[in-house]
């Protein structure tokens, strides 16, 4: 794992700032500030208040953006302020944050801008890597839920179980005796009373 992806975001931003200070001794202080004016990381002397530096940097950046757009200069990429005691650089970290660097008097502006821009690119990489990790973590957190919902469902148990067939003997039906033949209740001859001599 590279140093860029090791440790927390604040540790990586601190590493980028201290790398800038160690490689460029003319830079006396540096900070990473959000566009809202909140400090994200800083290496400032005790004479500089972190919150105040962040608020002033955000105000300068906002004013610089309005001036650049109002004068038709396009999007703002950096602000350079020169005073009697030194210079201040505000360089955009690819629309992720702002890197503020305070250089000593007599520092070579060209070299300072080069180093500050390099450090701003590192800061932008750190912040972009943080944004890329967040959706991946959210997706990993959803995996157990998806696994449960997408797991194959076993068929339900049958309510009735098959009963093994028992041997069945052929049914023997009782045979009916033949019905007697039809006979008339009259002994013989006519059934009318006058026709039978035995009737009185």
Q: CA torsion sign, 23 to 25 to 26 to 27? A: positive
Domain count, the chain: 1
Residues 64, 81: Cα–Cα separation, whole Å: 11
Residue 195 falls within a domain, yes or no? Answer: no
pTM (2 decimals)?
Answer: 0.61
Question: Which residue numbers in the chain have pLDDT < 70?
Answer: 1-7, 132-200
CATH of the domain at 68: 3.30.450.30
Alpha carbons 119 and 16: distance in angstroms, whole number: 6
Task: Give 103's strand partners.
Answer: 27, 87
39 located within any domain: yes
**What's the chain's length in residues?**
200
In the structure encoding, which two tokens stand for residue 175, read together?
């045979």
Q: Is residue 52 part of a domain?
A: yes
- Is position 163 within any domain? no
Q: Please report the pLDDT score of residue 102 as a whole number.
A: 94
Residue 162 within any structural domain of the chain: no
**Among 41, 38, 23, 20, which residue's Cα sits nearest to residue 89?**
20
Residue 83 DSSP SS3: strand
Radius of gyration of the chain measured on its C-alpha atoms: 51
Cα distance between residue 44 and residue 189, in whole Å: 148
Is 156 within the bounds of a domain?
A: no
- Domain ranges, residue 89: 8-138
On whether residue 67 sits in a domain, the answer given is yes
pLDDT confidence of residue 132: 66
Angle, helices 109-150 vs 9-23, to 10°: value is 160
* 106 domain residue, yes or no: yes
């Amino acid at each position: 794992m590279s140093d860029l992806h090791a440790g927390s975001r604040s540790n990586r931003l601190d590493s980028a700032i201290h790398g800038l200070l160690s490689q460029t001794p003319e830079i006396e202080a540096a900070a990473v500030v959000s566009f809202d004016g909140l400090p994200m990381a800083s290496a400032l002397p005790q004479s500089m208040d972190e919150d105040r530096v962040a608020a002033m940097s955000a105000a300068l950046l906002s004013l610089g953006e309005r001036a650049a757009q109002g004068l038709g200069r396009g999007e703002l990429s950096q602000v350079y302020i020169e005073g009697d005691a030194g210079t201040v650089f505000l360089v955009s970290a690819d629309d992720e944050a702002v890197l503020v660097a305070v250089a000593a008097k007599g520092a070579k502006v060209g070299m300072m801008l080069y180093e500050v821009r390099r450090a701003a690119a590192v800061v932008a990489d750190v912040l972009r890597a943080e944004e890329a990790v967040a959706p991946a973590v959210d997706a990993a957190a959803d995996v157990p839920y998806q696994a449960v919902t997408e797991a194959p469902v076993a068929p339900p148990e049958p309510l009735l179980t098959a009963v093994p067939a028992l041997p069945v003997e052929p049914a023997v039906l009782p045979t009916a005796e033949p019905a007697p033949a039809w006979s008339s209740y009259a002994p013989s001859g006519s059934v009318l009373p006058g026709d039978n001599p035995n009737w009185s």
